[in-house]
């Protein structure tokens, strides 16, 4: 008689277990690779959006003849309520007189999103910055925000973070930020080291964070300095 040998039940179960472990590992690797690929594409999208927005802002600043308004820090924000950030005049002298063809104005406004972000729930994500080109009306010393939500979008997914502590603290880094900002330098000429504050003069500092409401969270940040061709000529 021929002795025919087969697989025992233990061997079959062991083989099934090994194949299962390999399958789970391959599935995990595929999922991780897919997730990393999605995160990479999202980061590229955010970076491209920031680059396009900053290119437009740089052009507006270079063509401006007068800064009508600059916000600086935003202490608090309410979802959906527009906040003016920056207003520029083209073809206008310091006295408000038209130069050449006539006055032209550009105003940037920030509309915070509604999603509260950890850890302190004071930050808001999903905001939008609008860029409006046209006349400027005023509410007190700040321009009124006038924009078309369909055509005036400057940047989506803008995150709001309020300042933490006082303006002189090390944790003072609010966004979005459009404005001049003072900075501290140590004066070592005296026996006791003191701190002097200097104004940035004709520098416009811009800080932005864009963030997608995703898992994992994907964000990108930018800080850029613009030189104002005519310094600050802010509306009194």
Residue 57 lies in a domain: yes
Residue 148 lies in a domain: yes
Q: pLDDT band for position 194 (50/70/90)?
A: very low
Residue 104 has pLDDT above 70, yes or no: yes
Residue 232 lies in a domain: no
Counting every residue, how long is the chain?
236
Residue 2 lies in a domain: no
Residue 233 lies in a domain: no
- Distance, in Å, from the CA atom of 100 to the CA atom of 151, rounded to the nearest integer, reads 28
- Distance, in Å, from the CA atom of 222 to the CA atom of 47, rounded to the nearest integer, reads 9
How many domains does the chain divide into?
1
Residue 23 lies in a domain: yes
Residue 62 has pLDDT above 80, yes or no: yes
Residue range 95-119: average pLDDT?
Answer: 83
Q: Which domain holds residue 199?
A: 10-227
Helix (H, G, I), strand (E, B) or coil at 47: helix
Q: pLDDT band for position 7 (50/70/90)?
A: low
Residue 1 lies in a domain: no
pLDDT computed for residue 93 by the predictor:
78
Residue 107 lies in a domain: yes
The model's pTM: 0.75
Burial label for 140, CB within 10 Å (0-12, 13-18, 19+), is exposed
């Amino acid at each position: 008689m021929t002795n025919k040998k087969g697989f025992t039940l233990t061997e079959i179960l062991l083989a099934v277990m090994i194949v299962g472990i390999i399958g789970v590992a391959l599935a995990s690797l595929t999922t991780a690779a897919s997730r990393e690929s999605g995160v990479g594409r999202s980061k590229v999208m955010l970076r491209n959006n920031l680059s396009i927005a900053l290119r437009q802002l740089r052009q507006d600043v270079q063509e401006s003849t007068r800064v009508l308004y600059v916000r600086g820090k935003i202490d608090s924000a309410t979802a959906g309520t527009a906040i003016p950030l920056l207003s520029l005049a083209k073809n206008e002298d310091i006295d408000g007189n038209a130069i050449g063809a006539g006055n032209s104005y550009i105003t940037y406004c920030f509309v915070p999103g509604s999603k509260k972000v950890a850890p302190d729930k004071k930050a808001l994500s999903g905001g939008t910055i609008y860029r409006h080109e046209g006349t400027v009306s005023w509410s007190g010393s700040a321009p009124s925000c006038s924009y078309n939500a369909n055509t005036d979008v400057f940047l989506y997914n803008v995150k709001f973070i309020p300042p933490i502590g006082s303006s002189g603290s090390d944790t003072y880094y609010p966004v979005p930020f459009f404005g001049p900002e003072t900075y501290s330098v140590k004066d070592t000429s005296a026996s006791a080291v003191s701190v002097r504050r200097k104004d940035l003069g004709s520098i416009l500092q811009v800080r932005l964070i864009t963030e997608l409401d995703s898992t994992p969270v994907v964000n990108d940040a930018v800080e850029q300095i613009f030189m104002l061709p005519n310094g600050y000529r802010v509306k009194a």
